[in-house]
Structure 1
Amino acid sequence: MAQARGFKAQLVAGFESGYGQTPASPTGFKLPVNSAQVKSKQNLVDSATVSGRRDPAEPVRGNIDVSGTVVAPVDEVGIGYWLKAMFGAPVTTGSADPYSHVFKAGDSQPSLVLEQGFPDIGVYELFNGCKVNKFALNLGGDAELVANIDILGAKETVATASFVASPTAINLARFNNYQASIQEGGASIATVTNATLNVEFGLLPEGYTLGGGGYRTSLPEGQMKISGEIKAFFENKALLDKALAGTESSLSLKLTNGAHSLEFLLPEIVYERNAPGIEGSKGILVELPYRAFYGNNAQGGALVVTLKNGQTTYA
């Protein structure tokens, strides 16, 4: 008896023509992933109806929740499709490799159709109305560099064939932790051992309406929240002074592989006050949480992502 095997599974993504609507002539991209745990769930609610018997009454079915997390390698090409899902189509410049794709938030996010496919048994889970709800990145150490991408969606359809006959396979050209660099306040800094970036997109998950069949009929955007933390050698009090005084600064988290690169620029941040303590006899680290915001920076956003690669377009 055949059994679905993870190494044969695939995640195919496409952009919808309207919220919850698969395009009539869809384009799909087979993206590299470590795992994809998007699921459709519908709770069974115990009934309190008195039936004259001790036996339980038939349970009530609740709303349908499509949600889950995709763990994707941070790479040179595939990450651009996730960035487009988060920020919309980029501004692309260049006439030859490397092309520069600049992403920043607008007033809305595109919606996706995501398909978790199991070709070895001919089963394909299609999820419509998907949007990125959260994005998390952890730079540092020698582990595999991945992004955690939380998804909210509308509905699920299970089919025996893919929604797109020939998806475009995205070859994996990964970035690694050792290729990371950081600038703080516009200057390179080599004392940071770890940096995190968390982006929450403020989607409203309670988008259920009467007549919607229990599905989310919309996923309106709200105000973003951008935060993270840097962990650095406690060599002097320069960073600590910024935290104590609430001094505005900036961060650039960049991965570079030859002419290709991925930069997360936070033009305006403030650090949270968090003085280091004495944990033992070893070297001391200072951990500084931060918040990013938009006030008046010239880049026009609280987070500006620049991807340079050989891809001509993400339109």
Structure 2
Amino acid sequence: MARAQGARAQMALAFETTYGTPPVGGFTKMPFASSSLGAQQPLLNSELLGYGRDPLAPIKDSVTADGDVVVPLDAEAFGFWLKAAFGDPTTTGTGPWTHEFQSGSWTLPSMSIETGMPEVPRFAMYSGCVLDQINWQMQRSGLLTATARLVAQGETVGTTTSAGTPVALELQRFGHFNGAITRNGSALGNVVSAEITYANNLDRIETIRSDGRIDGADPSIAALTGRIEVRFADQTLVTQAINGEACELEFAYVLPSGESFTFTVHAVYLPRPRIEISGPQGVQATFDWQAARDSVVGRMCTATLVNDVEIY
């Protein structure tokens, strides 16, 4: 008997025209490292008395469908997750194309995502998936991945795929070696690590339904936060924190073949950190920064992806 193995798992994604309704085609094969996307329905214990010490049968509660998907930061497939986070991009060029995603949209697209384990067989289609949060880290070495947190409407399980034959993209993966950080247009030195988290802070529409599913997931006030850990070499960042000023931070990755991903945070505010001397090693400072809407640019952040994909 065949047993499920993660090495044989597969994932396909397509954007929906109608929330909660999987499209009949147009799926794309997505690279991923792991997935906790799933649906669960807990049981409620019976509170009734008068039937002895043994409890009565439990009843089903509402369905919750959500989870995290860990994906690589790459030149093509990552654009689907950026569209899920920010909405449709503005695309320019004639190949390579430049896709610019901007924060602030009140309308986010929903997706249908199918995860498959062919050897069982089990194919689970998650409809009405909306991206709640995406985050990643920058460091000197290691594998570069992002974690996308999703809220879905429901799960439908079958023994055959509903995604047809998904389109496969060319995997051109960014690495930590390709990354750089700038502050107000100048290279920011002495950075040990950085973390970026963008959240749509979805509001689940939990109406009364016979199937126990939600009616939707609406974005509320977004949040963009992160952390920068630096070797303490000068007072630039501390002075900015004390003065309560904002700066522009840009996190960029560029491949030798020309593909690039640039995430620009237009107004970053830094807290005043505690500078500790914990021993004879170098002194490090950690800044848990927050972003806000920049009054000049008119938004909080911009994500720019340059690749060979014409449209998302």
Shorter-normalised TM range: over 0.9
**Whole-angstrom distance in 2 between the partners of 1:103 and 1:295:** 16
CA RMSD across the alignment: 1.2
| Aligned pairs (5 A) from 1:244-263 | 244-258=242-256, 259-263=258-262
Cα deviation, residue 12, structure 1:
0.7
Instruction: Show the counterpart of 1:4.
Output: 4
1:38 aligns with 2:37: yes
Unaligned runs of 5+ in 2: none
1:211-233 Cα deviation digits (max 9, x unpaired) = 25210111111110100011111
Cα deviation, residue 22, structure 1:
1.4
**Whole-angstrom distance in 1 between the partners of 2:51 and 2:117:** 47
1:267 aligns with 2:245: no
Percent of aligned positions with the same letter in both sequences?
Answer: 27
**Whole-angstrom distance in 2 between the partners of 1:173 and 1:51:** 65
The code of the aligned residue for 1:262 comes to F
Instruction: Show the counterpart of 2:289.
Output: 290
Q: Would you say how many aligned residue pairs link Structure 1 and Structure 2?
A: 310
* Contact 2:25/2:164 (8 A) holds in 1: no
| Aligned pairs (5 A) from 1:190-209 | 190-205=189-204, 207-209=205-207
1:17-44 Cα deviation digits (max 9, x unpaired) = 1110112x32101100001110101111
1:178-233 Cα deviation digits (max 9, x unpaired) = 1100111221122212111001111013x221125210111111110100011111
Instruction: Show the counterpart of 1:162.
Output: 161
| Aligned pairs (5 A) from 1:44-59 | 44-59=43-58
Instruction: Show the counterpart of 1:218.
Output: 216
Instruction: Show the counterpart of 1:83.
Output: 82
Q: TM-score, normalised by structure 1?
A: 0.95
**Whole-angstrom distance in 1 between the partners of 2:294 and 2:183:** 18
SS of the residue 2:79 aligns to:
helix
1:101 aligns with 2:67: no
The code of the aligned residue for 1:74 comes to L
SS of the residue 1:83 aligns to:
helix
The code of the aligned residue for 2:292 comes to F
**Whole-angstrom distance in 1 between the partners of 2:156 and 2:240:** 51
Q: 1:236 aligns with which of 234, 237, 242?
A: 234
**Whole-angstrom distance in 2 between the partners of 1:76 and 1:183:** 20
The code of the aligned residue for 2:57 comes to E
Q: TM-score, normalised by structure 2?
A: 0.96
Instruction: Show the counterpart of 2:116.
Output: 117
SS of the residue 2:41 aligns to:
strand
Unaligned runs of 5+ in 1: none
The code of the aligned residue for 1:213 comes to D
**Whole-angstrom distance in 1 between the partners of 2:296 and 2:46:** 55
Which of structure 1's runs of 4+ aligned residues deviate more than 3 A? none
**Whole-angstrom distance in 2 between the partners of 1:235 and 1:221:** 40
Cα deviation, residue 144, structure 1:
0.3
SS of the residue 1:152 aligns to:
strand
Instruction: Show the counterpart of 1:18.
Output: 18
The code of the aligned residue for 1:233 comes to R
Q: 1:310 aligns with which of 305, 308, 311?
A: 308
Cα deviation, residue 171, structure 1:
2.7
* Contact 1:243/1:288 (8 A) holds in 2: no
